[in-house]
Amino acid sequence: MTKDEHLIPVPSGRGVNTTLAEITQARAYEKYGKYGAPSENHFRDYLFVVLKRKWLILSLVLVVTSLVAIQMFRLPSIYEGDTVIRIEPKTQSVLRNKELVISQADPNFWGTQLKLLENPILAREVVLTLDLMHNPTFMNPQNEPGFFSSLRRVFSRDKTSAKTQKEAADQVLINQSRIREEDLSAEELAQLESYEDAIIGSETAEPEVGTNLVHIKFRHSDPQMALKVSNTLAEVFINNNLARMTAGSTKAQDLLAKEIADLQGKIRHGQEAQFNYAKSHNLPMSSDASQNVEWQRLLQLGAQLVEAEKDRKLAQGIYEHAKNSSDPLSVPEVLKSTEVTSFRHELASLRQKRDSLLITYTREWPEVKKVDAEINRIEGELKAAVAQEIDGLRVKYQSLETHENEIRAAYAAQRGVTTQQAGDQLEIMEQGQEIETNKQYLNTLLQRQRELEAISGERTNELSIENPGRLPRVPVAPARVRNIVIAFLLSLVAGIGLAFLLDFLDDTVKSIDDVDRYLHLPALALIPAGRNEAPRLKGTTPVTSPAASTALALVEDVRSPVAESYRHLRTSLLLSSAGQPPKTILITSSQPSEGKTTTAINTAVMLAKTGAAVVIVDCDLRRPRLHAHFDLPNSRGLTNWLSGETDLDSLILSYDKQPNLRLLTSGPVPPNPAELLGSEEMRKLLIQLSEKFAHIIIDSPPAISFTDASILATMVDGVVLVVHGGHSSRAVVRRAKQQLLDVGANIFGIVLNNVKVEAYDYYSNYYSAYYASDYYDSEATGADAPQTG
């Protein structure tokens, strides 16, 4: 292709001086050199890499984003309880604390109050007030972790009435007086440290700029717990401040507080006594009969007694029947014995033997007497076995009777225990009534104590709850949507980076530009992948005619890109030699399954369409495929000629659809293909074929796997190396090239086969405009004229 390369019809708007080399040497995923704007080529390169690995990128994005989303929804939602307290100023002065301006006479007052909110003693009082040591929800994550449970927590809206929140606040005050008078041991204080640290770690005190308001916030996975702790922190903090101010309380209030403490002690001791009484008498803590162990045990013993009595009666009936039966062998339980069954079978066999002897001999015959003695012995053992089985039935009956008596005695004893327990339950109910009476009296005293504190005008507290916390509806953490979006973006960037890395590490020949860059050989043609290959690649078999699965189907449609590509290949071959077109052309590949047979067939067909006489020779004597594509027999062929047959015309087959095309199949597969192809007969064959045909296309085995291609390369005008686009390694193709060059072969160039041309590539745009022309409309009215491109 050195002289006139203006062979390709170009669409309107293209330059008419575009040569074939400029088109075939362009990159597969660019707009082929000057056909696209230079500013777009760089972007097209990147876009092609991304689209080529789109499923890898989408899979990575999907997996990473899904895992992060699942993990985000598996994490418990964190809710924040927010209680606002107010600190009233006493005197007019100004204290600047960072950006916060607070009116307070004492410049250390505000900082002191904020530090007191982080005091471990305050946290300890909150733990004791809410009894967090016995609340598993506080230290453990929220129950029911999982994707659907998280969604249910996100969209659920639990409603808490104002009355319930008020009762919780009252309970804080009830327990507060008890906690402050309790003395905790060093061991108890050590046990409370982890709870104190948990509260301090999740608590924040944030002053509101420009005001005297402070937000006490507490975060927890349970919204109820977050609300309780934040409200309790505010309540305990305010009560502690009030307690410091009212240290010198009146005697009446002290006496009232002492009486309340005594009454609380009575209630506590009464509850302990009630618990100890229930424990010592083995009483259930609930009145529900289903939770009463003794009652359930009585029911179980009653059911067991009924079952044991039924089993005993059944065993007794069987034993009485066997004992009183005139024929014990009629009892089914006796017949179940393997020993009795064995004796019966043996006795029947001996009796049969005796009867057969009596047919010939008398009863006095020694053999008959011997059998009679054996029968008497077996009958004795059978009777003993039957008696033993009846005795076993008796033992079983007696054991079941003993078991029934034991269960009956246990049932009677359990019934007495249950009766005693009923009396004990009456006693514990009386204790419970006394405890309830004391609790009601305690509530009266507490109410009176609150009334005394309310009417004490001199006791003012500069701290107050301005805005009680509300049940948090929306979690504040984790930021699920943000983290999922970040994971999506990072996985997308990682996927694109991985796509470029894989493309960089890809060692296959993908484009004509790779052929020129890495193989340093001319690119004769680029053959796009045929449309009918998709079902085969997916592992399915399309329902088509036999001809549709052959290589000829690729060029049957003269308008297809595949057919046009083979026309390019024909033109490249005709122009590959100076002076005259090549006569003998060897088509091979570096490794199997690269499409060399398909390329050889379609090249021969295209050359035959020019009117020249063409013969295609199947020299792949190891795995011949030429006859299968043309649906011809392979009983005789090349191997017959190489083995000594002289009638060459009878071995050459014709093709009805193309009169100018002849075929020489491989014939029977020989044991020594390389020796036959390297023989002098092969050279003579090529000389004879050269006299009859204008072009000889030779299909050979892969060059790397076998030496056949290297041998044939020394006998032909040139070699065409077929490379599977995106599949063949550069190193393997270079090795095949070097192997051919080492034997002095003339390599015409490379055919890049089975290339997947994307819809946005130049070829697609080019062929779309090419089909729009009237070229094929005029061609359809006549025969396929000789073409050069």
DSSP β-bridge partners for residue 47:
none
Does residue 635 contact residue 683 with C-beta atoms inside 8 Å? no
Residue 27 within a domain: no
Distances (CA, A) of 31 to 49, 753, 759: 14, 19, 12
Same domain for 603 and 646, yes or no, is yes
Is 234 or 14 the better-scoring residue by pLDDT?
234
- pLDDT, mean of residues 128-132: 89
**What is the reported pTM?**
0.47
Residue listed under structure tokens 């065409």? 720
What is the widest separation between alpha-carbon atoms in the chain? 144
Identity at 219, one-letter amino acid code: R
Average pLDDT, rounded, for the chain:
76
pLDDT of residue 341: 77
As separate numbers, helices (DSSP H) first and strands (DSSP E) second, the chain gives 28, 14
Residue 535 lies in a domain: yes
**101 versus 76: which is more confidently predicted?**
76
Q: What are phi and psi of 576, to 5 degrees?
A: -80, -20
547 and 448 together in one domain:
no
Confidence band of 153 (pLDDT split at 50, 70, 90): low
The CB density around residue 785, as the number of other CB atoms within 10 Å, is 9
Same domain, 657 and 696: yes
What does the pLDDT average to over 151-161?
48
Q: What is the mean pLDDT of residues 68-73?
A: 91
**What integer is the mean pLDDT of 292-319?**
80
CA distance 513 to 390: 100
DSSP 141: P
- Tokens 């009762």 correspond to what residue? 167
Residue 182 has pLDDT above 50, yes or no: yes
| Beta carbons within 10 angstroms of residue 395's beta carbon | 11
* 744 in the same domain as 607: yes
Residue 653 — φ and ψ, nearest 5°? Answer: -105, 155
The answer on 636 and 571 residing in a single domain is yes
Residues 197 and 298 in one domain: no
Neighbours of 106 (CB within 10 A): 12
Asked whether residue 251 is domain-assigned, the answer is no
Q: Are strands 203-207 and 584-589 parallel, antiparallel or unpaired?
A: unpaired
The C-alpha torsion from 304 through 309 and 312 to 317, rounded to 10°, is -150
Q: Which of 23-32, 60-69, 323-332, 401-410 has the lowest mean pLDDT?
A: 23-32
Shared domain for 439 and 466, answered yes or no, is no
Burial of 339 (0-12, 13-18, 19+ CB in 10 A): middle
Residue 782 has pLDDT above 50, yes or no: no
pLDDT tens for each residue of 628-650: 988 899 889 999 998 888 888 88
CA separation (Å) from 191 to 127, 172, 175? 11, 21, 20
User: Where does the pLDDT of residue 339 fall: very low under 50, low under 70, confident under 90, or very high at 90 and above?
Assistant: confident
The number of domains in the chain is: 3
* pLDDT digit string, tens, across residues 6-46: 333 333 333 334 443 343 343 333 333 333 334 445 677 78
Q: Residue 577: its pLDDT value, please? A: 78
Cα–Cα dist 275/257, whole Å: 27
Q: Is 621 in contact with 638 (CB distance < 8 Å)?
A: yes
- 499: which 2 tokens? 């796509």
Whether residue 483 has pLDDT greater than 90? yes
Question: Structural domain of residue 198, as residue ranges?
Answer: 78-246+459-477
Least-confidence region, from 51-55, 56-60, 421-425, 699-703 = 421-425
Q: What is the CATH number of the domain that holds 727?
A: 3.40.50.300
**Would you give the distance in Å from CA 431 to the centre of its chain?**
60
Token pair in block for residue 492: 């997308």
Q: Which two tokens stand for residue 517?
A: 């860059």
Please report whether residue 787 resides in a domain: no
Task: Please check whether residues 466 and 577 belong to one and the same domain.
Answer: no
| CA proximity to 453, closest of 250, 169, 232, 259 | 250
Task: Confirm whether 279 is domain-assigned.
Answer: no
Structure confidence at residue 174 (pLDDT): 38
What is the Cα–Cα distance from 446 to 438, expressed in whole angstroms? 12
Q: Where are the beta strands (DSSP E) in 400-507?
A: 463-467
**568 lies in the same domain as 554:** yes
Residue 628 and residue 533 in one domain: yes
Sheet holding 203-207, edge to edge: 203-207, 213-220, 79-87, 463-467
SS3 state of residue 204:
strand
Q: In terms of domains, do 213 and 309 share one?
A: no
The answer to whether residue 176 sits within a structural domain is yes
Kind of pairing between the strands at 100-103 and 213-220: unpaired
**Is the pLDDT assigned to residue 759 strictly greater than 50?**
no
Question: What is the pLDDT, as a whole number, of residue 285?
Answer: 59
Q: How confident is the model at residue 686 (pLDDT cuts 50, 70, 90)?
A: very high
Sheet of 523-528: strand order equals 523-528, 747-755, 718-724, 584-589, 695-699, 614-618, 661-664, 653-654
Q: What is the DSSP letter of 62?
A: H
Can you read off the two tokens belonging to residue 438? 């004391």
Mean pLDDT is highest, among 60-74, 80-94, 197-211, 519-533, for 60-74
pLDDT digits (tens, 9 = 90+) for 394-415: 888 888 888 888 888 888 887 7
Residue 242 clears pLDDT 60, i.e. is over it: yes
How many other C-beta atoms are found inside a 10 Å radius of the C-beta of residue 327? 8
Does position 223 have pLDDT exceeding 60, yes or no?
A: yes
- Taking the alpha carbons at both ends of the chain, their separation in whole angstroms is 11
pLDDT in tens, 721-753: 999 988 888 889 999 999 999 999 999 999 998
**CB-based contact 775:9 (threshold 8 Å):** yes
Task: Yes or no: say if 49 and 500 are a contact pair by the CB < 8 Å rule.
Answer: yes
Which token pair is 184? 């905790």
The answer on 298 and 377 residing in a single domain is yes
Residue 37 falls inside a structural domain: no
